Amino acid sequence: MWGRVTEKNGRRVMLNPQRLSQAQILPVYRAVPGMPAKTLRQVMALALEQVDDCCPETLPQGLRLRHRLCEMNFAIRQAHFPTCMENLRIARRRLAFENMLLYQAGVGLMRRRGEKGYPMPLDGEIENRFWQIMPFPPTAAQRRVLGEIYQDMRQNRPMSRLVQGDVGCGKTALAFGALWAAVGCGFQCAMMAPTEILARQHWESAQKILAPLGIRCGLLLGGMRAAQRRAALAAIAGGEWQVVIGTHALLSEGVNYHRLGLVVTDEQHRFGVRQRSLLQRKGESAGAAPHVLVMSATPIPRTLALILYGDLDISVVDELPPGRTPVATRIVPEEKRADLYGFLRREIAAGRQAYIVCPLVEDSEALEDVKSATAQYQTLTAGPLAGLRVGLTYGKQSGDEKERTLNAFARGELDVLVSTTVIEVGVNVPNATLMLIENADRYGLSQLHQLRGRVGRGTAASWCFLLAEPSERLRTLTQTNDGFAIAQKDLELRGPGDLFGTRQHGEAMAGFLMDGDVRLLEETSRCLKELRENPALSQERRQVEEAAARLFHDKIRDVALN
């Protein structure tokens, strides 16, 4: 007997129970309006009788034997009507393995277009010359990754490299190293950031580091006045600006580049492959395409990065520069809130600044217990933080108002900044030593780690307080500042979507992470690597790539298999 169990009058009851003539495992499908569940199962059973005709085998036999995978028709039948739980496990493993393998193969095909790049004549000493210019010594990780970037830029195919590193690891210096080298070879470069705040910050950094080296840097933003925009477009088209820094405005109509040889995108998880490709295509000339370097501070475990960014080579900056101040992190329950505000006031009195981050912009009836930035701003300025200089910023503010608020905070004209997660990227205030995160249990661990990266950017001791009830998940943040370890824990506990602070990305990955088995990701990555590198498996590789091309035909129409 089976059915949905509920509780009624303190007793558990079964709604609409059905009796089975014999023990069996029945599939439960998503409801179809007007069709009873029993009828839907009968329809599926009839369809499965035709599975041999419509679902031919897609994976090579040798590959299946090496990885202990069942045949496709067995997998489909057992996934719908398993004869036992072990067969269901075997079927799910086969289908998940194929999904992951073909996805990775498909993404690989999308980058294999036979494109020519701009091979840059970089000598063997260029790396040492760059680090001698910098006002700080590089870490071993920075040296290694810049060497990988320069090696790519020497090739006659376009570089496609992701540089992944924790907050404060020095990724911007690596990007500037690539820009400096490309300009030295006579090319123009573009650097795209997801927000005007971050784009302006990169431009200011470039003015300090690249401009003294004779490199002319310009800024292109969507909110420019007409006269400013016309002047900027002329400077870009004529090559007056050797490095163009901006937002999505870099992709807009009317922007024409002058021998664009390198494209850099920052905070890669906020851009899609399409946006990155659009900017790259703007630089195509005579069949050659610019090199592409993308950066991400979102610490994604390497195996998952291979899936999400399979069209890119991956470099990991796994070392922080010496002197970076570790951020002490504590969980603060509601009853300790008053003490926390007292600590905050003492920090302000000592000349420091603080962030207070809220999950919502405004109060919501559906989420009564969740703090909003606007309500907290009003409550704090009238109560616990009365007399302090408190600012408010959030994503939907007008660009001018947001910029004024953030600039005021950066100049030290505000003591406390109440905000949403809009400050997650592109805000660099070394004097800010304190962060309070309201309803911390509503964020993914990786996003919390990104947020706390806004403090600890100077030499003073810094703190991050998580306002929530203690939990094993949040305690992870109190025990380590290693973003990659935190991301791995996030992946294990909550799934891949929360690595980005949203479930949407996770839904796209749901078909791959069946049963949450991250080990299968590693196995499929190794399998594809073996197919590509072992000449004896060339026929198997072709069969897998043909299957991927059929599956993703709308995205890989122009790929010629070889």
* Nearest-angstrom CA–CA distance, 207 and 99: 47
pLDDT at residue 560, as a whole number: 38
Q: Which residue has the higher pLDDT, 350 or 54?
A: 350
Hey, what CATH topology would domain 327-480+482-512 get?
Rossmann fold (3.40.50)
Q: Do domains 126-317 and 327-480+482-512 have the same CATH topology?
A: yes
| Per-domain residue ranges of the chain | 1-48, 50-112+517-562, 126-317, 327-480+482-512
pLDDT at residue 21, as a whole number: 60
How confident is the prediction for the chain on average, in pLDDT? 84
- Give the pairing type, strands 217-220 and 390-393: unpaired
Phi, psi of 2 (to 5 degrees): -145, 160
Task: Return the top range by mean pLDDT from 12-21, 347-356, 357-366.
Answer: 347-356
pLDDT at residue 517, as a whole number: 56
Which of 273, 205, 274 has its CA nearest to residue 243? 205
Q: Which of 73-77, 115-119, 277-281, 509-513 has the lowest mean pLDDT?
A: 509-513
In order, the DSSP letters of 373-437 are HHHHHHHHHHTTTTTS-EEEE-TTS-HHHHHHHHHHHHTT--SEEEE-GGGGSS---TTEEEEEE
pLDDT at residue 450, as a whole number: 84
Q: Is the pLDDT of residue 146 over 60?
A: yes
Q: Which of 306-315, 368-377, 480-489 has the lowest mean pLDDT?
A: 306-315
pLDDT at residue 511, as a whole number: 46
pLDDT at residue 12, as a whole number: 82
- Residue-wise pLDDT for 284-311, tens only, equals 666 788 999 988 876 666 666 666 666 6
Tell me the Cα Rg of the chain. Answer: 27
- pLDDT, mean of residues 198-207: 90
* Nearest-angstrom CA–CA distance, 120 and 123: 9
Task: Return the top range by mean pLDDT from 197-206, 395-404, 506-515.
Answer: 197-206
- Residue-wise pLDDT for 66-86, tens only, equals 999 999 999 999 999 899 999
pLDDT at residue 475, as a whole number: 93
For the chain, give the percent of residues with pLDDT over 70: 83
pLDDT at residue 502, as a whole number: 38
Q: Is the pLDDT of residue 346 over 70?
A: yes
Confidence band (pLDDT; 50, 70, 90) for 559? very low
- Residue-wise pLDDT for 499-531, tens only, equals 444 333 333 444 444 444 567 777 888 898 899
Q: Which of 125-134, 276-285, 420-429, 520-529 has the lowest mean pLDDT?
A: 276-285
Task: Return the top range by mean pLDDT from 48-57, 153-162, 171-180, 500-509.
Answer: 171-180
Instruction: Specify the 3-state DSSP secondary structure of 2.
Output: strand
Confidence band (pLDDT; 50, 70, 90) for 463? very high
pLDDT at residue 66, as a whole number: 96
Q: Which residue has the higher pLDDT, 422 or 311?
A: 422
Q: Counting runs of H as helices and runs of E as strands, what totals does the chain give?
A: 21, 15
Q: What is the pTM of this model?
A: 0.70
The top-level CATH class assigned to 126-317 is: alpha beta
Q: Which residue has the higher pLDDT, 376 or 494?
A: 376
Residues forming a β-bridge with 292: 160, 263
Contacts 24+ apart (CB under 8 A), 72-80: 72/98, 76/48, 76/51, 77/48, 77/51, 80/27, 80/44, 80/45, 80/48
